[in-house]
Amino acid sequence: MSTQLVAPHGGTLVNRIDSTAQGTKADAVITLTDRQQCDLEMIAIGAMSPLTGFMGSADYASVCERMQLGTGNVWPIPITCAVDTATADKINVGAEVQLNDGKGRVLGFLKVEEKYPHDKRLQAVSVFKTEDTAHPGVKVLMGEGDVCLAGPIRVVTANHEPEFPEYNLPPAKTRAEFERRGWHTVVAFQTRNPIHRAHEYLTKCAQEICDGLLVHPLVGQTQEGDIPADVRMKCYTALLEKYYHPDHTMLSVLPAAMRYAGPREAILHAILRQNYGCSHFIVGRDHAGVGQYYGTYDAQQIFDELPAGGLKIMPLKFEHAAWSKRAGGMVSGKTFPKIEGDQIFLSGTKVREMLRAGERPPEEFTRPEVADILIASMKQ
């Protein structure tokens, strides 16, 4: 077994936090969107290593068309700083641009090395497989500016109001914690929903082959209708406290923006977790999907299409799991035959209807502690 953690993507963990940047004389000031603020934070703390700033046109085209940076490193989704044309016209190449959050507070600075047209159609078709603005990722993309500013960033404060600061550990700190715990292999579980019994089954299967489990919920920008992050965190902490082994389980948050890009976002999520120090990554049914835009297991198959050695992190591919009344436990298509009326499966719509009515879904579907938290949140 390896005695050290997996290497960061690209070989080096980036750090763009620079307190000395505070005195930088800016040629222009722009306010970042919610997504851009998330991306800036992820670049600054090294979660998006090897990126050191917002992408230029060559990387943009290469990522869209080949899922690779110009360096050859796998990268699935463009990370850009797009602004409107009027703003771009006032900013020259070589300028130092101050980057503010939505409350006018300084986050950092961008050294503009390039300005280029934002090819939204190319990105929509390549990344999301659709131009349909009913897709939440495409909707955000089409609302962005028409010109991209590219260049390295220096960040004074990655986030003035980080959510769940006690759980918001950057990659350098998760790596240090894994080493303190003596974990060499770590499996990450990405989620933007409460963990139900099928998720619990997947994570515990993965724990059997790794030293530790990192439950790593995304708490950055999501879409309207998703369960709020504060409610989800209550669910995670309640579940982990009662049903997981504390010596082999850890909870931390991912302050990234959700893009709902299905297969390509599964690759991005894996890269982020490799940078956080994880050796394995759970990829389940319709990972990062939305609606009917992607096939059920497209997000698993895309890992087989990457060049050899493209990622150091190993995907753990799981099929749909559910409680079998006949087997008396959780099963998947690989472990138990499908029998008419045997498995307890509830749609998201049905679960929400039950919770709003104050009804607990069956314990075979979700733990009662989680259901109680969700029912209480629905009544607020």
Q: Which of the 8 DSSP states describes residue 21?
A: G
Q: Per-residue pLDDT tens for 36-89?
A: 999 999 999 999 999 999 999 999 999 999 999 999 999 999 999 999 999 999
Distance (Å, whole) CA 49 – CA 274: 10
Distance (Å, whole) CA 214 – CA 247: 11
State which of 155, 185, 215 marks the end of a domain: 155
In sequence order, the 6+-apart residues with CB closer than 8 A to the CB of 246 are 240
Q: Is the pLDDT of residue 308 over 90?
A: no
- Say if 38 falls within a structural domain: yes
**Which uninterrupted H or E stretch holds 231?**
helix 229-243
Q: Per-residue pLDDT tens for 235-272?
A: 999 999 999 999 999 999 999 999 999 999 999 999 99
Backbone angles phi, psi at 96, to 5 degrees: -100, 120
Using an 8 Å Cβ cutoff, are 75 and 69 in contact? Answer: yes
Q: Per-residue pLDDT tens for 267-298?
A: 999 999 999 999 999 999 899 999 999 999 99
- Say if 2 falls within a structural domain: no
The single residue of 154, 192, 264, 273 carrying the catalytic annotation is 192
State which of 109, 128, 155 marks the end of a domain: 155
Boundaries of domain holding 98: 19-155
- Say if 165 falls within a structural domain: no
pLDDT at 88: 98
Q: Is the pLDDT of residue 94 over 90?
A: yes
With tokens 């290469």, the residue in question is 62
State which of 98, 122, 155 marks the end of a domain: 155
Tell whether 345 and 308 lie within a shared domain: yes
**Which uninterrupted H or E stretch holds 97?**
strand 96-100
Backbone angles phi, psi at 8, to 5 degrees: -60, 160
159 catalytic residue (yes or no): no
356 catalytic residue (yes or no): no
Q: Is the pLDDT of residue 3 over 80?
A: no
pTM confidence score: 0.95
Q: Per-residue pLDDT tens for 10-25?
A: 999 999 999 999 989 9
The single residue of 100, 193, 352, 360 carrying the catalytic annotation is 193
In sequence order, the 6+-apart residues with CB closer than 8 A to the CB of 152 are 16, 52, 53, 110, 111, 113
Distance (Å, whole) CA 121 – CA 263: 18
Tell whether 337 and 193 lie within a shared domain: yes
Q: Is the pLDDT of residue 145 over 50?
A: yes
